Structure 1
């Protein structure tokens, strides 16, 4: 397997939109911008419009992030998160998908769901249901969780230890594979009106799973869906997370703010995939990116400067505190970072300085917050269509990523701008599709059919297919 190519024979750039079922995802404060419609996140019309914009731009998918619990590391409470709207209020991502699928034909949906707090038996039913209702356009972004507040609200003192969470997730996925791949044979459903037999019971099998974390002996309840197992996404950056990705992932999301860090991360992920006995290019890797674009470079720069007027510094620190696990409320906003005794903060700021080209500046805590105010932790491209397209191409060629998870600054305007200015330029350069490939999300991404490939860990649980 290799990376996808366009009709011109050049390497194709893939696009996911990066969103969340909330008001503030990655850019705190920008919900106040007069053109932003994030406040409509709790309406069906907002999401169906976003889906149609993305499909018009031939996006591969809409990647919907999620957490279960508020960001309460900052100040040791959720008050600042609530004030700023930083990923709270927050709604279930699964319930969006059916409506969006009804108004699109090709757009994929990568839905984030954790393995810590829901049993895999009912969860596998939800996955199979959505795979049916979307015609096989669903992916599952597997997360183990990182917010202590989620564990506490589910009756636990804290999350499991980091590597132990992945042990638990490994078994969780095995149960899901067994239910979706190994319970119903392809031709189990007869729907024979003459005999009155809907399903042949001899072709539906108990999975008899008895593991360390789960006991699931019976049959699955969903008949085989177009993909059976949806495309598996994953975003863990630790060594244990990369091992998990090598075993399970078909698409991986990374968010390094520099090309050097991205290149190193991609190389490690592909090595982990190879170590698991799989083709290193059997995984599509998406890097986070935010694009501020317009009719020309001057218009794009003016748009960026306008966006910065709405940045919520406290909201930025709320997100950074949650991501880093450090309470940034203990520092004065105008305190130089050099005075902050934290290796994690120092290394983060050094990375941002390099990404911004301002390595010689003395940064303050406020500047750290403002840096994440447009686009969150990831890099930001500012420029017209040709400028943005060229920078994306350089990112791909220098880092070996397959594509980008595009975060918004305002919504849906960010995505509309990319569709209007960047997509046509990438197409002109032969680096972006001009039409969708047929079939399921898995076939669109890999061109190798609808089901898990034989080398994937989950394939061992497959019943023999017809023919």
Structure 2
């Protein structure tokens, strides 16, 4: 029985997944601008032996619902949203084992400074940084960056493939493993013969330069990815070490995990080279009755309409235009393609019911044994490795889970009782560096500056 992996799922904003819950008494989400808020969260998660804190992010705003940001602003639907990378080194300073997965949209980044940014974080965290690779889905972000609209869905992935190749060259190939000498007596900090110029001439990117950072503990950060469209699965099979998926049932989840693991095999990797996480919310109390009562209190604070406004931007369709019981047809290529295909034909009433807690994420409600039963069923029958636990009420959701569910899972042998030493990749895969079968490895030495030019 494999142990269950666990990330906390959050964002540098007020309203992340469960919209409206920032109004619940005791919720601290509106303190997101304060550093103590994040330091307290990091300490709490490490005390609960969480594998990581996964931070989502967006560029742009949710302006599809009713064609404006009125509800987005009133309900703080991921607005305002601050840069997540700025939080990492501070949280790393008060923890020793907690990993950090950070979302960064490559569509509006240049590979060269981007590579340095993540190498710096890998150094400062002692190898505990991961990058959630996204290409974006909001037209509002494209307009803010000077474009008329998003690039076509599959073309964004084509660009992402090349972006990663450029970064692999920098992270894996520019500095040899023993390039650093750090020898004051010889007045030689680094060996120039072992630092290599990277030349890249491709369809999307052209660059010539040396990576600015010396090799960090992981070199390439741990690679996360979300997206289960056909092209997204192909991309994950080639690059991802961890993926985030959602399904309505364990059986539906297994269908997705099978495709993802097969995509890894098709790319020359192994099925276990991808750890698969599912997004879930948990409402737990000492008794099932208390858990149901807690859920009722949460429902009174949540905003289903805010959840629908978020969803409108996810599929790039103004759901306010539809009658309550009118089936909604999803346009291909709009928003998040895998989400659009899943909900085609639903009505606004069905979506509002689903978003009762401000989110479409599945919610597990019960006493510790019931929650553990449900998580284990999802893990075993859905063939997933772990969960991204959403914050419903922050920090209560995480505190309740750590106090009540973690001991139950530990008693069943399904959750660790101590951290494994080492980098984030080592904790999850037993090695600090990407394996030789990963496409990044082709840029390792022996290296010539003409390779792949």
| Fold match by TM threshold 0.5 | yes
Equivalences for residues 341-352 of structure 1 within 5 A: 341-342=328-329
Residue 311 of structure 2 corresponds to 320
Give structure 1 stretches of 5+ with no counterpart: 1-9, 353-362
Matched, 1:432 2:420: no
- Partners of 1:198 and 1:370 in 2: how far apart? 62
Partner of 1:250: 241
| Counterpart selection for 1:111 from 102, 106, 123 | 102
Instruction: Check conservation: 2:328, 2:347, Cα contact below 8 A.
Output: no
| C-alpha separation in 1, matches of 2:237 and 2:347 | 38
| Residue of structure 1 in register with 2:438 after alignment | 456
Query: 1:218 pairs with 209, 215, 221, which one?
Result: 209
Give the one of 58, 69, 81 matched to 2:49: 58
Residue of structure 1 aligned with 2:165, choices 150, 174, 181: 174
SS state at 2:32 partner: helix
Contact 1:289–1:375 (CA<8 Å) still a contact in 2?
A: no
**Deviation for aligned residue 1:367:** 5.3
SS in 2 for 1:267: helix
The answer to whether the 8 A contact 1:184-1:224 is kept is yes
Counterpart of 1:76 (choices 67, 82, 85) is 67
In the superposition, the TM-score normalised over structure 2's length comes to 0.94
Q: Which residue of 2 aligns with 1:423?
A: 406
Paired residues, number: 440
- 5+ residue gaps in structure 2? 333-337, 448-453
Change (3 A) 1:460 1:161: same
> For 1:389, what is the secondary structure of its paired residue?
helix
- SS of 2:273's equivalent in the other structure is coil
Cα pair distance change 1:262/1:195, threshold 3 Å: same
**Aligned equivalents of 2:62 and 2:340: distance in 1?**
21
Partner Cα distance (1:275, 1:248) in 2: 12
Q: 2:327 matched to which residue of 1?
A: 340
Distance 1:298 1:70, change over 3 A: same
Change in CA separation of 1:183 and 1:196 when aligned onto 2, cut-off 3 Å: same
Residue 48 of structure 1 corresponds to: 39
Q: Which residue of 2 aligns with 1:25?
A: 16
What residue in structure 2 maps to residue 384 of structure 1?
367
Deviation at residue 316 of structure 1 after TM alignment: 1.2
CA contact (8 A) 2:315 2:340 kept: no
Kept in 1: contact 2:98–2:128 (CA 8 A):
yes
Q: Tell me the SS of whatever aligns to 1:82.
A: helix
CA distance in 2, matches of 1:349, 1:145: 15
**Given the alignment of the two structures, is residue 301 of structure 1 paired with residue 292 of structure 2, yes or no?**
yes
Is 1:195 aligned to residue 182 of structure 2?
no
Give matches, 1:353-364, under 5 Å: none
Q: Displacement of 1:384 after TM fit?
A: 1.1
Indicate if the aligned counterparts of 2:21 and 2:392 stay in contact, CA closer than 8 A. Answer: yes
Verify: 1:260 aligned to 2:251, yes or no: yes
Q: Retained in 2: the 8 A contact 1:256–1:378?
A: no
Q: 1:364 Cα deviation (Å)?
A: 6.6
Instruction: Write the distance in 2 (CA, Å) between the matches of 1:234 and 1:309.
Output: 34
